[in-house]
Amino acid sequence: MTRVAIVLFPGSNCEYDAALAMREFGVDSTFVFHTATDLDDADAVILPGGFAHGDYLRPGALARFSPVMASVARFAAAGGPVLGICNGFQVLTEAGLLPGALQKNRGLTFLSEPTTVVVASTRSVLTRAATPGQELVIPINHFSGAYTCDDATYRELVENDQIVLRYRDNPNGSRDDVAGISNVAGNVVGLMPHPERALSTLLGSADGRVLLEGFVESLARV
Amino acid sequence: MNYPVVVDVSLRPGIADPEGATIERALPALGFTGVSAVRAGKSFRLVIDAPDEATARDRARALADRVLSNPVIEVATVRVGES
C-alpha cells in the first residue's frame, strides 16, 4: 500500500487539503508530527502549507530544527519524493534541502489569488506528467513568496534544470519568475502555489491534477 | 557569568528590501527629507551564561548564524557586553 507522510508542524493548516488530494489519486496518507523521529515507512513526504511555529523569526526557521526534519533529510538523500507546498517550500529552503530563500512579497501584501504558472522543467517528481511550456492556473496564498538566491546559485539552478515552474505574470517579485524549484536529482520539489487546491473546476481550477498525478506516479517507482 | 548580547539582523547588501524602500518613499510626505539608504532589520537581545566573554561571543555568533539569521539573504552582527 502506497502511503504519503504529511508532516504536521504546530501551525500547519493545509494538511487535510494534501491528504484529500492524495486520496483523490488513490493514495493513503498519514500525519507525522514534528516531534517524530521516523517517517513511519512512508513512500513519500509532503510538507504542507500553513504557518509552522507561527512563522516566528522567519517562515520555516524554527520548523527546520524539528526532530522530524532529520528523517526528512535522510529520506530526501536516499532519493525519496519530497514535496514542500508554500510553507513547506519555505521549510525546505531553511533546512538547506533546496537552495535559496523566500523573502517577503515585493508589494508587502499577503497574496491570495489564482496565478498562471508555466511548466519550466518536467524532470522533477512534481512535473513529470506535465508538458514543457504548459500553462496551469494554480492559486497562491502567501506573504513570503519572493524567491531569492545569489547569482552563483541561480546559474546552478539554470544549468541543472532545477527551475520547475515559473509565474507567467510575476505576482511577488520572485527572481526570474520562479514559482517552484527542485534539487539536482529532481526528487525534492518546493513551490509556493497550491496544486492541492486546484483539483476541481467547481472550485476554480483542476490544473493541479497533472502535477499531483505525476507526483503519485513517482511513488510507484520508489 | 552572564553576558548580555545584542544581535542585529539585516538583509544582505544587494538583496531587495521592500520594507526599507517603502519606509524611505513615505518619509518626504511625513516631513523627513534628505533621508536615504533605509534598510529594515531585526534586533535580538539575549543573555548568555558562559565562563568568559570569548566563549559567550562564539556561542552568540553560532546562534546568530544558525538560527537568528538566514545567511542566504541576511547578515548578522553580534555585540557582547551591552545591555
Domain that holds residue B47: 2-80
* Distance between CA atoms of residues A180 and A163, nearest Å: 6
Task: Check B16 against A105: CB less than 8 A apart.
Answer: no
Which cell numbers hold the place of A98? 533546496
- Residues linked to residue A30 through DSSP beta bridges, in sequence order: A5
- What was the pLDDT predicted at A177? 98
- Phi first, then psi, for residue B17 (nearest 5°) are -125, 85
Query: How does the average pLDDT of chain B come out, rounded?
Result: 94
Read off the CATH number of the domain in which B47 is found.
3.30.1280.10
A77 Ramachandran zone, left/alpha/beta (phi>0; psi -120 to 50): alpha
Q: Does B72 touch chain A (CB under 8 A)?
A: yes
Q: How many domains does chain B have?
A: 1
Which pLDDT score is estimated for A2?
80
Query: Could you tell me the three cell numbers for A126?
Result: 512534481
Q: Are A146 and B70 inside 8 Å of each other by CB?
A: no
pLDDT one-digit tens code per residue, B8-44: 999 998 888 999 999 999 999 999 999 999 999 999 9
Check pLDDT > 60 for residue B2: yes
Question: Which residues of chain B make contact with A100, given a CB cutoff of 8 A?
Answer: 72
Residues of chain B with Cβ-Cβ distance to A150 below 8 Å are 72
Q: Tell me, yes or no, if B67 comes closer than 8 A to chain A by beta carbon.
A: yes
Contacts of A57 in chain B (CB under 8 A): 67-68
Q: Which of B16, B22, B70 sits opposite A173 (nearest CB)?
A: B16
Predicted pLDDT at B83: 57
> Which chain B residues have a beta carbon less than 8 Å from that of A104?
18-19
**Could you read off the pLDDT tens digit of each residue along chain A, which spans 222 residues?**
689 999 999 999 999 999 999 999 999 999 999 999 999 899 999 999 999 999 999 999 999 999 999 999 999 999 999 999 999 999 999 999 999 999 999 999 999 999 999 999 999 999 999 999 999 999 999 999 999 999 999 999 999 999 999 999 999 999 999 999 999 999 999 999 999 999 999 989 999 999 999 999 988 755
- Closest-CA residue of A relative to B20 is A108
Q: What residue of A is the nearest CA neighbor of B44?
A: A57
Span B45-66, average pLDDT: 96
- pLDDT confidence of residue A222: 52
Q: Do B68 and A57 touch (CB under 8 A)?
A: yes
Task: Give the pLDDT confidence score for residue A219 in this predicted structure.
Answer: 87
Residue numbers of the domain that contains A80: 3-220
For position A221, what pLDDT does the model report? 57
Is B13 near chain A, with CB under 8 Å?
A: no
Residue B43 burial (C-beta neighbours within 10 Å; 0-12, 13-18, 19+): exposed
Please list the active-site residues of A: 86, 194, 196
Tell if the CB–CB gap between A108 and B68 is shorter than 8 Å.
no
Residue of A nearest to B73 (CA): A101
Put simply, the answer to whether B16 touches A101 (Cβ < 8 Å) is no
pLDDT (0 to 100) of residue B38:
94
Can you tell me the distance from the alpha carbon of A84 to that of A189, in angstroms, rounded to the nearest whole number? 6
A101:B72 CB<8 A: yes
Q: B81: pLDDT confidence band, cut at 50, 70 and 90? A: confident
Give the count of domains, chain A.
1
For B10, other C-beta atoms within 10 Å of its C-beta total 19
d(CA A189, CA B41): 30
DSSP assignment letter at B12: P
Beta bridge partner(s), residue A5? A30, A45
Return the CATH number at A145. 3.40.50.880
Does ipTM surpass 0.90 in this model? no
Which pLDDT belongs to residue B14?
86
